[in-house]
Amino acid sequence: MTSQTEFSLRQRNRGFHLITDEIVAHLPQLPEFGLLHLFLKHTSAALTINENADPDVQTDMTKIFDRLVKEHEPYFEHTLEGDDDMPAHAKSTIVGVSLTIPITNGRLNLGTWQGIYLCEFRTRGSNRRIVATIIG
């Protein structure tokens, strides 16, 4: 049994944002066992799973990624869409735009410390579209 829904996440600016509750609020009733697949329809943001407790993890993560792929590199040719655009594309490919999470006993089977993050890599982000597919 496959079900699918598509929705928008509210606008956020550059950063790693915990969105577990916002995602769960958009989902239909989950099957007893299966998989949830989340797919972000964009190329300058990403989805990941990381620590859901200390907000310092989120700010440090943003700093680490801003150093991993720096802006203003003299060799960039794709610069027309802003200094933050090409680094955002690279970070999106490093992190990835989709997640697959097991469903167990009708709930997402995340670890105790795991949460779902939207990684917004544009300085000023926009609404982001997600396709959620549930395989039961």
Residue 9 CB, nearest distance to a copy of itself (Å)? 13
Size of the site for a copy of itself (CB under 8 A): 63
Residue 79 CB, nearest distance to a copy of itself (Å)? 8
Mind giving me the DSSP string for 36-75? EEEEE--SSEEEEEEESS-HHHHHHHHHHHHHHS-S--TT
Tell me which stretch binds a copy of itself (CB under 8 A): 7-15, 19-27, 103-111: 103-111
Q: What is the dihedral of CA 35, 129, 73, 50, to 10 degrees?
A: -40
Any idea what DSSP says for residue 31? P
CB nearer a copy of itself, residue 55 or residue 123: 55
* Partners of 46 in the β-ladder: 119
Q: Please list every residue from 17 through 76 that binds a copy of itself, using CB under 8 A.
A: 31, 33-35, 37, 39-43, 48-51, 54, 56-57, 59-61, 63-65, 68-69, 73, 75-76
Residue 13 CB, nearest distance to a copy of itself (Å)? 19
Residue type, 88: A
In terms of Cβ atoms closer than 10 Å to its own Cβ (0-12, 13-18, 19+), residue 114 is: middle
Q: Which 3 state secondary structure label does DSSP give 136? A: coil
Residues in contact with a copy of itself by CB under 8 A are: 2-4, 6, 31, 33-35, 37, 39-43, 48-51, 54, 56-57, 59-61, 63-65, 68-69, 73, 75-78, 80, 86, 89-90, 92-102, 104, 109-114, 117, 119, 129, 131, 133, 135-136
